[in-house]
């Protein structure tokens, strides 16, 4: 290792030590360990051994599924999109619920295999036909290829649901983290499709929904709380859309939003719409900064509803299906979920909201690993989702 590599190592270890685990977030040691795992990925990237994304892909590819002889599992393609379908062997009903699952990973990592446990769990607990979508990943397949694959899979499944023993009127779209972003974007894209059955519901699990204001209360309060740190959120987002990381500080200052955009978006994205109880852990209004015309033109893709579904027009929001939103107290994305909940309810869309007071970003995914690194908050969230699905 060179001196530069050693210095990089110390810098990353210092940042790891500087992360925070609030007193009432669940199981501090496990959470810190998960955060340190992501820092190792960053270290390998910085010293040139392996890119952060390829390290995370490699690790997630080693996650073993839990064997379950009760399930029938098959790999297919919906058009050109890889999917894996899960269903109970003992179910003979041809009117079952269908769940399309879009995995997380900021469009760059995550896979069907990594989400085997999640999809098997949902299939087993709800007697649903679960379709996990293996959309193409960036940077090999630039944004918005991920959305296009998810939309293609959704359209195909809605058209052929009965071939898989699914009632076309009982199809639910679901996703966690950036998979929640894809879920919201797909649901929006389908609202005006008169040639397809309507979605029964959408389930958004701690979703990223907007890139207008990254200084909302949840971003400030959870800036250094693992797993998803504030800066890491934007770094991964910029990598997703292949943009220069040199614009990070300007985006945090809000210089990427023009005055006209600010006037439009403030109706939907504002700390004023965050309930007071979510500001008690601390919140300081951000000072205003002048927009940069060059930057505003550069980040157009990040303000498209495909990337920031919270920015969809009212006419689209009003037509969305019944929605389940899960938020976590110790998650920078908490307030995205709160703002989307408000927009949906303002337009008469029925919303079931589950807030995990001890939860953090990724807790549902980790809950499926049992005693090793499982978290009670994640188990509670999974139970609430199962209960919601059983009623759809």
Q: Which residues are known catalytic residues?
A: 177, 331, 361
Give the bridge partners for 82, in sequence order: 77, 134
DSSP reduced 3-state for 31: helix
Q: Which two tokens stand for residue 224?
A: 């250094």
Task: State the Cα angle at 22 between 380 and 109, rounded to 5°.
Answer: 60
Cβ count near 66 (within 10 Å): 12
Q: Which residues contact 61 (CB under 8 A, 6 or more apart)?
A: 111, 113, 114
Cα–Cα distance for residue pair 303/210, rounded to 1 Å: 7
Which helix (DSSP H) or strand (DSSP E) does residue 123 occupy?
helix 116-126
Distance in angstroms (rounded) separating the CA atoms of residues 90 and 151: 30
Distance CA 161, CA 339 (A): 32
What is each CA distance from 138 to 53, 110, 123, 253, in whole angstroms?
9, 11, 28, 27
Q: Which residue, 116, 126, 127, 46, is CA-closest to 89? A: 127
Tokens representing residue 293 in the block: 């015309």
């Amino acid at each position: 290792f060179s001196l530069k590599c050693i210095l990089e190592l110390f810098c990353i270890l210092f940042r790891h030590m500087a992360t925070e685990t609030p007193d009432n977030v669940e199981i501090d040691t496990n959470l810190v360990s998960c955060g340190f795992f992501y820092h190792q990925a960053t270290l390998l990237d910085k010293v040139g051994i392996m890119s952060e994304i390829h390290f995370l892909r490699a690790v997630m590819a080693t996650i073993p599924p839990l064997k379950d002889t009760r399930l029938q599992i098959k790999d297919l393609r919906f058009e050109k999109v890889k999917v894996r379908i899960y269903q109970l062997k003992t179910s003979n009903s041809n009117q079952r619920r269908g769940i399309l699952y879009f995995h997380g990973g900021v469009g760059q990592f995550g896979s069907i295999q990594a989400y085997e446990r999640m999809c098997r769990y949902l299939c087993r607990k709800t007697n649903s036909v679960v379709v996990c979508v293996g959309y193409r990943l960036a940077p090999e397949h630039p944004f918005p290829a991920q959305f296009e694959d998810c939309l293609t899979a959704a359209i195909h499944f809605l058209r052929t649901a009965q071939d898989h023993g699914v009632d076309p009127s009982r199809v639910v779209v679901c996703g966690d983290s950036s998979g929640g972003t894809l879920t919201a974007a797909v649901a929006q894209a389908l609202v005006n499709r008169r040639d397809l059955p309507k979605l029964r519901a959408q389930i958004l699990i701690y979703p990223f929904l907007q890139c207008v204001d990254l200084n909302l209360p949840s971003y400030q309060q959870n800036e250094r709380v693992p797993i998803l740190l504030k800066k890491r959120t934007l770094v991964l987002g910029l990598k997703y859309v292949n943009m220069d990381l040199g614009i990070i500080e300007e985006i945090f200052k809000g210089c990427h939003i023009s005055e006209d955009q600010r006037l439009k978006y403030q109706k939907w994205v504002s700390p004023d719409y965050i309930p007071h109880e979510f500001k008690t852990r601390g919140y300081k209004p951000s000072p205003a900064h002048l927009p940069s015309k060059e930057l505003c033109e550069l980040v157009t893709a990040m303000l498209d509803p495909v990337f920031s579904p919270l920015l969809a027009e009212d006419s689209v929001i009003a037509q969305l299906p019944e929605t389940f939103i899960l938020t976590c107290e110790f998650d920078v994305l908490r307030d995205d979920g709160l703002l989307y909940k408000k927009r949906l309810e303002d337009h008469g869309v029925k919303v079931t909201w589950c807030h995990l007071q001890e939860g953090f970003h990724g807790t549902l995914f980790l809950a499926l690993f049992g005693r090793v690194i499982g978290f009670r908050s994640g188990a509670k969230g999974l139970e609430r989702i199962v209960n919601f699905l059983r009623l759809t």
